[in-house]
């Protein structure tokens, strides 16, 4: 079969996402289009092949570790909500907050113990910082900006112990396999983090807003009336987290959050070293870079989940309550698990159809490699804004971006950074994004008002990132 047909599956998925703004049905459409072509035009054969492909990607060991990690991590973050750690942190910091700046800074102080997941961070920092802000009569809009940005952008830059890490590694690993790139996906991810210029720019702007009262008083952007639909966000988790006013079941005990978190980080570090040195690594750094990251983060998370459950059970928190939060937290991660599984299957089918050779023959000698990073950033930004899904955007754009990078000779880490940056836009600025919707719900402000306040900051960050990708596209070639 001529390999120009290979563009049909990813194109069907991208067009479906643009029209429906739903990533899961769009990926299914792309997968079925690919299996239809692969099976020679048989409807029954395409469905059977799709099932076989999905079973194959799920049964692959590294993929299974990522799926189990995502479920376990979601459950762990949810269980943390009933342990008294958040209220303990709030009680510890309250005497020191005297100004609006102090209330805003409390979000940053809480980040080292709430960075596990964007939704957990949003809910936890909202519970801590909102009462402190009200005490000093500060700006809810500015606090919402800080909570949103540290949830959707700061966590995307942390290369360990977050739900983002396992997902991103899954996307990068499958995309590397599609285009024939060898090497460690985690090493590539680490090299791309500093090149995620949108997230870095938004964090810088947020710090200016805290320390220098930088704001756009002169600019009010009109937003259409919008009521978010259920099921538009990355996690699709009971939009927009009806449980965001959760109640902890024990008195304030910051140790209930700190002890499991310290154990988790220590165990991840040890297991990274252990799996890396088993491959013959000569130094600690080499061991960490060559570790079986998927295995390490799952085993560490599962062990922490078991230990945390036992710790809370010994404090008379009902096992029924813990089981309920375990299941609800794991269930929240099912949509990204489904997205990732479908993306793995789609990239596998497009690889079999000859997608990479087709892109190489079509664009390898015509598209300047210097422009690939900024083009990828623009495509990702548009896709993520209209879908409201960073995770869905990464799954759609990463295979195409790496194909363009390899065939044109563009800088691969810079292109991966551009994909991560473009995908991050929607989860920061889109009225369909889970983080803006959840932030607005936690802060008790309208979603449209929150988007209107954050959007000017985001436009500055978008412009800054685009210029950097354009300049470095030439400098790093």
DSSP class per residue in 349-370: HHHHTTHHHHHHHHHTTTS-GG
What pLDDT is stored for residue 219 in this prediction? 45
DSSP secondary structure string, 41-88? Answer: S-HHHHHHHHHHHHHHHHHSHHHHHHHHHHHHHHHHHHHGGGSSHHHH
Give the span between the Cα atoms of 318 and 312, in whole angstroms: 8
What pLDDT is stored for residue 233 in this prediction? 47
**Residue 474 neighbours by CB distance under 10 Å:** 12
Helix axes 255-277, 100-114, angle to 10 degrees: 50
Burial of 296 (0-12, 13-18, 19+ CB in 10 A): buried
What pLDDT is stored for residue 86 in this prediction? 72
Give the span between the Cα atoms of 165 and 319, in whole angstroms: 30
Each of the 477 residues of the chain gets a pLDDT tens digit; together they read 447 777 788 788 878 877 877 778 888 888 898 888 888 888 888 889 988 989 988 888 878 888 888 888 888 878 887 877 777 777 777 777 778 788 888 888 878 877 777 777 887 777 778 778 877 777 888 888 898 888 888 888 888 778 788 888 888 888 888 777 887 888 899 899 999 999 999 999 888 888 876 666 544 444 444 444 444 444 444 444 444 445 555 676 778 888 888 898 888 888 888 888 777 766 777 777 677 778 888 898 899 999 999 998 888 888 888 888 888 888 887 887 888 788 788 877 877 777 667 666 666 667 788 899 999 999 888 888 877 778 778 888 888 888 888 888 889 999 999 999 998 998 888 887 778 888 888 888 888 888 888 888 999 999 999 999 999 988 876
CB 223 within 8 A of CB 385: no
Tokens encoding 32: 């079925």
What residue has token string 């210097």?
Answer: 370
What pLDDT is stored for residue 412 in this prediction? 92
């Amino acid at each position: 079969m001529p390999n120009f047909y290979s563009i049909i599956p990813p194109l069907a998925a991208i067009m479906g996402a643009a029209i429906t703004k739903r990533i899961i049905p769009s990926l299914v459409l792309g997968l079925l289009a690919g299996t239809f072509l692969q099976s020679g035009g048989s409807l029954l054969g395409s469905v059977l092949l799709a099932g076989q492909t999905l079973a194959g990607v799920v049964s692959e060991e590294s993929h299974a570790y990522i799926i189990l990690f995502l479920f376990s991590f979601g459950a762990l973050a949810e269980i943390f909500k009933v342990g008294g750690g958040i209220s303990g942190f709030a009680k510890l910091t309250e005497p020191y907050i005297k100004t609006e700046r102090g209330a805003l800074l409390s979000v940053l102080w809480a980040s080292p113990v709430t960075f596990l997941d964007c939704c957990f961070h949003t809910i936890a920092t909202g519970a801590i910082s909102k009462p402190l802000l009200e005490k000093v009569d500060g700006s809810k809009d500015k606090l919402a900006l800080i909570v949103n940005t540290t949830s959707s952008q700061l966590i995307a830059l942390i290369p360990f112990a977050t739900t983002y890490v396992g997902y991103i590694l899954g996307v990068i690993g499958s995309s590397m396999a599609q285009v024939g790139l060898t090497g460690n996906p985690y090493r590539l991810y680490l090299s791309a983090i500093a090149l995620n210029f949108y997230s870095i720019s938004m964090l810088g702007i947020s710090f200016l807003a805290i320390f220098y009262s930088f704001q756009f008083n002169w600019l009010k952007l009109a937003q259409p009336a919008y009521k978010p639909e259920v099921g538009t966000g990355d996690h699709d988790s009971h939009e927009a987290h009806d449980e965001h006013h959760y109640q902890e079941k024990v008195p304030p005990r910051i140790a209930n959050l700190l002890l499991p978190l310290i154990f988790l980080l220590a165990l991840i570090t040890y297991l990274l070293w252990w799996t890396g040195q088993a491959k013959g690594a000569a130094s600690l750094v080499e061991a960490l870079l060559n570790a079986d990251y998927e295995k390490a983060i799952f085993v560490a998370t599962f062990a922490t989940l078991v230990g945390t459950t036992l710790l809370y059970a010994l404090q008379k928190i009902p096992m029924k309550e813990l089981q309920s939060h375990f299941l609800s937290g794991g269930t929240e991660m099912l949509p990204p698990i489904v997205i990732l599984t479908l993306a793995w299957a789609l990239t596998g089918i497009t690889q079999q159809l000859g997608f990479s050779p087709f892109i190489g023959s079509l664009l390898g000698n015509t598209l300047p490699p210097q422009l690939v990073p900024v083009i990828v950033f623009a495509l990702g930004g548009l896709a993520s804004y209209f879908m409201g899904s960073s995770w869905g955007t990464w799954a759609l754009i990463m295979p195409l971006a790496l194909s363009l990078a390899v065939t044109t000779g563009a800088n691969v880490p810079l292109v991966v950074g551009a994909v991560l940056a473009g995908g991050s836009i929607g989860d920061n600025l889109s009225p369909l994004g889970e983080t803006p919707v959840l932030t607005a719900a936690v802060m008790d402000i309208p979603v449209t008002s929150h988007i209107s306040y954050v959007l000017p900051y985001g436009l500055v960050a978008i412009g800054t990132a685009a210029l950097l990708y354009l300049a470095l596209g030439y400098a790093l070639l």
